[in-house]
Amino acid sequence: MIKYISFLVCLLTLLMEINGQEINLAYMQEIAIVDQKVMMPMRDGIRLATDIYRPKTDDPVPIIFSRTPYNFNTWRDGEESTRTLQRAYEAVKRGYAYVVQNERGRFFSEGEWDILGTPLTDGYDAFQWMADQSWSNGKIGTLGCSSTAEWQMAVAALDHPSHAAMVPQGFGAGVGTVGRFYEQGNWYRGGAEQMLFFAWLYGVQHDPKAPRLEQGISQEDLLRLQRFYDMAPEYPRVDWSEKLWHLPVQDLIKNVNGPQGIFEEMITRKPNDPKWFEGGLYHEDMEIEIPGYWFVSWYDVSTAPNIELYNHVSKGRDDQYLVIAPTLHCRYTRATENTIVGERSVGDARLDYDELVYGWFDYWLKDQSNAILQKPKVHYYLMGKNIWKTSEVFPPAAAEMTTYFLDSEGDANSLFGGGKLVGEAPDDNQADEFVYDPMNPVTSYGGNVCCTGNAIEGGAFDQRQMETRNDILVYTSEPLSKGMEVSGFIESTLYVSSDARDTDFTIKLIDVYPDGTAYNLDETIQRARYREGYDQEVFMEDGEVYKIEMSPMSTSNYFEKGHRIRIEVSSSNFPRFVRNLNTGGNNYDESEGVIARNKIHHSKEYPSNITLPIVKEEGE
């Protein structure tokens, strides 16, 4: 998501090979009507910079619309600009107009930008403007991944008559309660901040004192200026593997001499701050009536919340479809015949995404009779078996929740301890104790991440070296007597105690191969002060045992015969999540932490457990 911008000095350097044809702006102007830097007016007078590519025809055409915070100037040499031309080419050759627009306050668009505060009306006003154009057939589909997807759901809830279909990819769960998640646009997981936004905002938010073009500037001047000047800051590269360690976290961007912006205010918000509900993200009480084809990845930052939102929206509807790919954030089309995610091969994970996306748009925007609605509602990739599977719902209807209980003799510390996953809760109360020092946290190694620069490489990695730490509790099942598909949401409950007023608890789900290789599947976290809900803070007392319901994880993985199921339990996963300094204070404005001595209890009285959705095969 972070873009390091370099300026284009010659148009001919902007090339892309598609079917042997050189795709650049000059070529697009040969095959399409290109109208760049159209300043689309919003109801409050603010104008949003918009590029339009449409077929050379007198007939009205449907529109594929993408709104983004990223720089799509085709006169610069960069990933986003080349991607824009590729998408425009793909749309135009299929008879669609492709319209891409910057959010307000971004690059040539006027107004002030706020990651969560972009007015919801901007989307509605854009639909109305496009529907009123003589070249439009009045039907609009929205398309985009990540920040180019997150706005789609809230706008869909406005139910503009021209918004005919949407394809959100790598989207967030929204604001407020979405099923079992309360993330506030991916900012939190279990009440702990996800640090991806800290690095991402460094490269996205524009400093309020940065130079700006005058409001009301003409399209003619913008077309001239975009050839050599596009309002894109040149952010110095930052070694986030080092700089994310800085305390207090509220000064993290300031510490790298980064731009001022919304970060300094957002870092002070608690999960229930009413400011989360301002702006243009989907809220829990919004109803979506727009047909949607949703795309999710197993190693993305918000996989389980994404699936939960899909299930929430699709309840009682027949026009919602889902694809879950075994890839990193927004990497759907990068799957190959030997797809490697981190260190693990997940086989041939290719899928004809163009067939799905354009089949979807053809049906809803062109009224073409095709077989898109005859496809199964859900395509999901089963890792381990490395095959695509289909279902009408997710989790699959055949999934049965099966519970494994934590057990040990109080010696589950590290890979070399005695932690076990067993079928029944142990009779005697035992507790595994570990020391969590926020100055020496468990570091993130692989995982379900995005957007943290060089701080974390996402995907599946062998966790054994990490598991030599004594502040990681390791619980492992016996080798499986037969293969087992786990597909769906993974629920987990911990009974905990601590000598700190507040601390975090983390869980990681792992597939252990017969040779010991331990590949991570998903991970989650819960801040103890929010264990009773996100509208209150309830601190811990030394010696008391508390029940912690963890935010669910999700996966689809086939544990082969002889493999083992493992979970890791600790109190940090940094820098995926902000470190809890254990003081019970604000955390964001603190520079020193205290050591916490944390315990995980397991017995019939305190049945700490993990519950897996095991898909029974036919005949079982």
C-alpha 186 chain-centroid distance: 7
Residue 461 maps to a domain = yes
CATH number of the domain encompassing residue 510: 2.60.120.260
Check whether residue 471 and residue 608 sit in a common domain.
yes
Check whether residue 420 and residue 313 sit in a common domain.
no
Residue 579 CB partners (closer than 8 Å, separation 6+): 438, 441, 572, 593
Check whether residue 357 and residue 460 sit in a common domain.
no
The SS3 assignment for 190 reads coil
Check whether residue 443 and residue 493 sit in a common domain.
yes
Q: Number of structural domains, the chain? A: 2
Residue 237 maps to a domain = yes
Whole-number Å distance between alpha carbons of 16 and 14: 7
Check whether residue 143 and residue 203 sit in a common domain.
yes
Digit-coded pLDDT (tens) for 490-539: 999 999 999 999 999 999 999 999 999 999 999 999 999 999 999 999 99
Q: Whole-number mean pLDDT of the chain?
A: 93
Digit-coded pLDDT (tens) for 436-488: 999 999 999 999 999 999 999 999 999 999 999 999 999 999 999 999 999 99
Digit-coded pLDDT (tens) for 217-231: 999 999 999 998 888
Whole-number Å distance between alpha carbons of 266 and 498: 29
Helices and strands in the chain, H and E counts: 11, 28
Digit-coded pLDDT (tens) for 43-72: 999 999 999 999 999 999 999 999 999 999
- Taking a C-beta distance cutoff of 8 angstroms, is the pair 462, 519 a contact? yes
Residue 229 maps to a domain = yes
Angle at 53 between CA 49 and CA 56, to 5 degrees: 145
What DSSP designation does 236 have? P
Check whether residue 451 and residue 330 sit in a common domain.
no
Residue 34 maps to a domain = yes
Taking the alpha carbons at both ends of the chain, their separation in whole angstroms is 45
Check whether residue 312 and residue 220 sit in a common domain.
yes
Residue 558 maps to a domain = yes
Which structural domain range is residue 359 located in?
11-335+347-382
Whole-number Å distance between alpha carbons of 163 and 185: 23
Three-state SS sequence of 74-126 = CCCCCHHHHHHHHHHHHHHHCCCEEEEEECCCCCCCCCCCCCCCCCCHHHHHH
Check whether residue 370 and residue 499 sit in a common domain.
no
Residue 116 maps to a domain = yes
Residue 44 maps to a domain = yes
Whole-number Å distance between alpha carbons of 605 and 610: 16
Check whether residue 591 and residue 519 sit in a common domain.
yes
CATH number of the domain encompassing residue 271: 3.40.50.1820
Check whether residue 420 and residue 357 sit in a common domain.
no
What's the confidence (pLDDT) of residue 284? 84
Check whether residue 214 and residue 71 sit in a common domain.
yes
What DSSP designation does 25 have? H
Whole-number Å distance between alpha carbons of 146 and 329: 8
Check whether residue 111 and residue 258 sit in a common domain.
yes
Strand partners, 421: 406
Residue 456 maps to a domain = yes
